[in-house]
Structure 1
């Protein structure tokens, strides 16, 4: 019988050893604690918090713009309010999500590879798990786009690409998780040297992109990177996003643990970000057309946020585990974990009915000027309106997803997995470029991907 989480030992500094961390569990379900299956609460709580930050951050950042009571477009908080750029160091939590997801997924990867599953089979199942709910979302967007053509479509026109821009995360996650088994093997063989190798690639990519030829030019590294096209810097689409994944595996395997390592990473992050800003990198950790470009492709400045968030996870681990052991939060964390993918996929759609209600009812949703009186009170009202619109959508989506057949995906042939993956990436790319207006084409591609990834080998 499994012991409750309260009995898990900790090391002298309060952190958990690799064996203890794998045994740190949260209690779920009904019945006495000693009779129920358990699961580690800390990484689940981190992912749940990251999800809430993303959802609330996206809603706060969207600024509806009205003229004569009619919505004419949307702005972004980063364009309208300069100080918001520094906040992205905290609310750009994708590095945190990749870090924790890698730690959580590592035991399953080791188990499946040990059972004889190939890397191809493992990724096909993960890709199918993302493709199925994404297809539902795209089909609903396609239906909305069709209705908008028949009716007044000014709201959809204002929110078009905003309804799909968040799907970039799925593209990145699919790419780095395709390499997760290789990263697990790299950690086993090279340890933290694998992290150092990825960091070296990222540094070289930015140096080449900036055209640095003399040591004195390093003082303008960030400015030169930001001024030049991506070029060789696109290598960092993998190198930078694989970095938190490799760190997460190292954390899971006990190579990084405890407050001492956490404090060291945070100190590194502070120095790293200070040097990056001094050399001219943009402050905001976002993409183009907002406040500089540290995302497309990722830059060394974003690596500073990786150090910051990974360090915070390690520094907070011991007190957070004690808090989770003392407070009955398993159900809350479990519910947020179960709602993770649906909530991420559908939260942006809530802005569409929220804008319609706000426009129809004459609510103060216009938020074009952060310095105007009542701006932040209006943001609170907008958040509540979006949450109210999302609740019935989530209820319907969760009910539908629970009703779907959950059979185990077959293991298609290598060529079929390649074609399915290509179709999935292409569908997400169409959605990113064309928004809801391209949802029908994107849905067709994702449907093809789902069929291919479920195909039986011949």
Structure 2
């Protein structure tokens, strides 16, 4: 549970944010960025063709490592914690499902819309300038991972109000229902491969639901021995499923579309987050650590969306300039990874300065009315159309442009969040449904 602080009057109040969640999210983001620099490895072949190899993912020794370091489930667990808390505050102020959807989509879609528009414009200009189409496609691929994550995360978050109501009535039955749907999809995906993409909703909603249990806490929360038992049991079950040949032991293979293995990882990671919370809390409470993760957290979505396109762009430029590159997996290649990581960070800094503020919640200065429900629903549909197309048919330059247009249209449909939804209710109030700027690293809009 989030520790309470004491006000001057001695009354217990909640702090603005849970520093452990800040630290966990920063760790996940840093690990994702670092690991991608060891996966993207473009190769220029003698015949002039360009391919991109997943060097790290193709290493057999990496399978047990990624079992531990596959942190995508933890992203959704943390999203469940913060999302449920935000939803409950919003409900306490009289907010509705459409208000929650509007705020959540604006936070995620605005920075993504700008990224897609800039990528499409830049790549189209490069194509007109005569850049090899294969290099263009390599750079287009750079937008693929951010888009699928955005789709998965949005699908879970937009379902959060409904799932929160079900959780309040029957938490374990809701969890069992989502898990059963995910397993059913896994059983049928052999006959109907396209059906596997339904787990972009069922599976990630189930993992998000784990965060609901952590947010509830209370006296019935499992103790340290029980948490250690949960971690051990979930990994033993996962190992058994892999040993029986039902699932791959490579958690990168299991990621997209997701399957039951990621739910088991999510259970283990959620329990580990609680088990090590005292240690993590002491680390996160250090002044320098707190300031750094707070600053990084306010730009976390920008970092996630931009780091892979920037990495792909840097790789493409090196190919076009004929810069000598060692073969993937060689000693020289591994020694060059820290330089690649530093290069990506260097490119991210000006991007954060230019576009980082797009993550801040856009609010109307006057008491404007919330957007009509049909406009919010239409915005969600408009966003998911290009994303679903990219998941099923692959991302192309044309689809990238269509996605940028759809995302821009969704932003127009959503408008701006009315100030009343983020206003301070004053002394004695229930607290704002959503944190006031500057945004916390861990509290979602």
Q: Compute the TM-score of the two structures, normalised by the length of structure 1.
A: 0.79
Cα RMSD after superposing both structures: 3.1
| Contact kept? 2:326, 2:332, Cα under 8 Å | no
Distance in 2, matches of 1:136 and 1:55, equals 20
1:307 aligns with 2:267: yes
Q: CA deviation at 1:230?
A: 3.1
Q: Unpaired segments of 5 or more residues in structure 2? A: 7-13, 419-445
Q: Distance in 2 between matches of 1:278 and 1:350?
A: 38
Name the residue aligned to 2:249.
283
Q: Which has the higher helix share?
A: 1
Distance 1:437 1:394, change over 3 A: farther
Q: How does 1:171-190 map to 2 (within 5 A)?
A: 171-190=151-170
C-alpha distance after superposition, 1:168-218 (max 9, x if no partner): 1111111111121222222322233432332233334434x2xxxxxxxxx
Whether 1:445 and 2:406 are equivalent positions in the alignment is yes
Secondary structure of the residue aligned to 2:51 is strand
CA distance in 2, matches of 1:330, 1:282: 38
CA–CA separation in structure 2 for the residues paired with 1:259 and 1:356:
49
CA distance in 2, matches of 1:163, 1:402: 18
Deviations 1:238-293 (A, max 9, x none): 2221122111011011054542342122112221111111121111223xxxxx4x
1:11-160 matched pairs, under 5 angstroms: 18=1, 21=2, 23=4, 38-67=16-45, 72-77=50-55, 80-154=58-132, 155-160=135-140
1:363 & 1:147 partners in 2: Cα distance?
22
Which of the numbers 235, 239, 253 marks the counterpart of 2:202? 239
Deviation at 1:131, TM superposition (A): 1.6
Deviation by residue 1:35-75 (Cα, 9 ceiling, x = unmatched): x9742200111111111111112221101213469882321
Which residue number in structure 2 is paired with residue 354 of structure 1?
A: 314
Question: Which residue number in structure 2 is paired with residue 344 of structure 1?
Answer: 304
Moved more, 437-446 or 332-341: 437-446
Equivalent-residue separation in structure 2 for 1:96 and 1:456 (angstroms): 28
C-alpha deviation, 1:103, in angstroms: 0.7
Give the whole-Å Cα distance in 2 for the aligned partners of 1:24 and 1:105.
Answer: 21
Q: In 1, are the aligned partners of 2:142 and 2:312 still within 8 Å (CA)?
A: no
Counterpart-to-counterpart distance in 1, 2:151 and 2:21: 22
- Structure scoring higher RCO (CA < 8 A, sep ≥ 6) equals 2
Choose the corresponding residue for 1:230, options 193, 217, 236: 193
Partner of 1:413: 372
Count residues with an aligned counterpart: 402
Q: Secondary structure at the match of 1:347?
A: helix
What displacement does 1:232 show?
5.6
How far did 1:405 drift?
Answer: 5.8
